Amino acid sequence: MSDIDHSALAAMVRGLYLGELSWPVTLAATNGAAGGDAECLSLGLPKGGGLELAAAAMKTGLAQWRSQRGGAPGLVPGCVVVETGSGATAFWPGSSLDEARLRAGRADSSAWAARAPWAVDPKRPWLSRTSAEGRSSVVEGRIALVTGGAQGFGEEIVRGLAASGALVFIADLNLAGAERLAAELNAVLERTAAIALALDVSDEKSVSAAIDSSVSAAGGLDLVVSNAGVLKAGSVLDMEASAFRLVTEVNYTGFFYIAKHAGRVLRAQASASGNWASDIVQINSKSGLEGSNRNGAYAGSKFGSIGLVQSFALELVEYGIKVNAICPGNFFDGPLWSDPVKGLFVQYLQSGKVPGAKSVADVKAFYEAKVPMGRGCEGSDVMRALYYLVEQAYETGQALPVTGGQVMLG
C-alpha cells in the first residue's frame, strides 16, 4: 500500500462513497483503527499495482461488507479503516464537515444515516438533479477550493459558494485575509463553511501542500477554481522581463500547478467512484479572447491558459474531470479597479489616459460605455457561469465569456 499517498487514499475512500451515494460526502480522518465495530469497513490494500488495483480492492471490500449485511442497496459503512504500512487510518463520512468531525471525534462507527445535503422534493425527486431551477443547489454539499479567494473575484466566488452550501477552502498568498473571510463566513452561516489555507500558486511545493491540506481536512475535492491572478500592464517596448515572468508564473504556470496537483486527487477519487464528475475552472479574462493594448504579458498568460484548459480537458475527461474557463469582463467594483489609492480608475485619472476625465466617476463612465450592457462584470455574473459549468455534464474545454456583450465568440 506504500505506493499511494495519503491524499490519493483519502480521495479514493471518498470516491467509494460518492460512487455509492451519488451526492457529495465529506470525510474526516483519524489515525488508528476504529475499534473493530461491525459497521466499519476494514480494508487492507494490495502492495504495488497503483490506483486501479487499489480501487478494485476497495470496491470488492465494500461489496463483501454489504453482502454480509443482506445486500441492502444504499447501505454504506459508518467508517472506512485502511491499513497502510505505517498504521491504520480511519475515514469518517458526513454530509458536512461538521458532521464528519463530530462522528470522528466520537469514534461513532454505528451505521451512518447518509442523507443528501439538499432537500429532495418527494413529489419531484428528479428536480435537483435535472433542472436548472435553483441553480445554486448544484454546489450544495460539495467541496471547493478557490485560489486567490481572499479578495476581488475570488472573494465573490468564495461567498457565493459558501452561501450555496459548499465547503470552501480559501487558498491565498494573503493568509490573514483568507482567515478573516473564513471566520466571517463560519460565524454568519453557523457551520464550518470555509477554511483558510496559505498558498503561492507560483510555487509548486506550496500548491502541492495546500491541496494535501484540503484533502486531509475534508477527504477530497469536487470543484477547484483557479482564480489567483496578477496584472502588470506595460508596453512591449519597455516592460521589464521580471514583470513579464511574474505574470506568467502566477497566471499561466500557477494554473498548471493547480491542475496537476488537484487533478491527481480528482483522478484518485474517480478511480473509486466510477461516475462522479468533478470540475477544474480557471478564471480567465476577456483578455484571453482578444488582445489587450499595452497589456501583452497579461493577455498572453490568459490566451495560453485557454490552450492549457483545452489540452487538460482532453486528457482528464477519462477521469470525469471537466476543465473549463470563465472569461469575465472588467470587475469595476472590485479592488483592482476601485481601490481608492492604487486602483486602475485613480491611476488612469492621474495619468490622463482618458481624455477630458476630471474625476474617477468620469473614468468609470468611459469604461462602462465600452460594454454593450453598460456596466462592469459582478460576482453574481461569474457565479451564474460557475453554476452552469458545474451543472452541465456534457461540456468541457470551453472558455465561457461573461462580458456583457463586450466580447462575442465567432
Ligand X SMILES: NC(=O)c1ccc[n+]([C@@H]2O[C@H](COP(=O)([O-])OP(=O)(O)OC[C@H]3O[C@@H](n4cnc5c(N)ncnc54)[C@H](O)[C@@H]3O)[C@@H](O)[C@H]2O)c1
Q: Are 297 and 244 in contact (CB under 8 A)?
A: yes
CB of 400 to ligand X, least distance (A): 12
What contacts 1, CB < 8 A, 6 or more positions away?
44, 45, 46, 47, 54, 82, 83, 84, 85
Q: Which stretch binds ligand X (CB under 6 A): 52-60, 100-108, 144-152, 256-264?
A: 144-152
Q: Which of 94, 141, 220, 229 binds ligand X (CB under 6 A)?
A: 229
Q: Rounded to whole angstroms, how far apart are CA atoms 259 and 262? A: 5
CB of 321 to ligand X, least distance (A): 20
Q: Which of 20, 99, 140, 172 binds ligand X (CB under 6 A)?
A: 172
Q: Rounded to whole angstroms, how far apart are CA atoms 57 and 60? A: 5
Out of 17, 252, 298, 348, which one is annotated catalytic? 298
Q: Which stretch binds ligand X (CB under 6 A): 20-28, 223-231, 269-277, 316-324?
A: 223-231
**Cβ-based burial of 158 (10 A; exposed 0-12, middle 13-18, buried ≥19):** buried
CB of 268 to ligand X, least distance (A): 24
- DSSP-derived letter for residue 250 is I
Contact characters 324-363, ligand X, x per CB under 6 A: ----x-xx--xxxx--------------------------
| Residue 147: closest CA among 206, 104, 87, 59 | 206
Q: Which stretch binds ligand X (CB under 6 A): 50-58, 86-94, 146-154, 269-277?
A: 146-154
Where are the strands (E) in 253-386, listed by range?
Answer: 278-283, 321-328
Q: How many CB atoms are located within 10 Å of the residue 55 CB? A: 23
Q: Rounded to whole angstroms, how far apart are CA atoms 42 and 168? A: 30
298 among known catalytic residues = yes
By CB under 6 A, tell whether 404 contacts ligand X: no
Q: Which of 77, 117, 154, 343 binds ligand X (CB under 6 A)?
A: 154
For the chain, give the longest Cα–Cα distance: 80
C-alpha cell at 178: 483568507
CB of 376 to ligand X, least distance (A): 7
Number of residues that bind ligand X (CB under 6 A): 29
Q: Rounded to whole angstroms, how far apart are CA atoms 326 and 292? A: 17
Q: Which of 193, 225, 283, 313 binds ligand X (CB under 6 A)?
A: 283
Q: Which of 202, 214, 273, 396 binds ligand X (CB under 6 A)?
A: 202
Active site residues: 298
Provide the binding-site residues for ligand X, judged by CB under 6 A: 147-148, 150-154, 172-174, 177, 199-202, 227-230, 250, 283, 285, 328, 330-331, 334-337
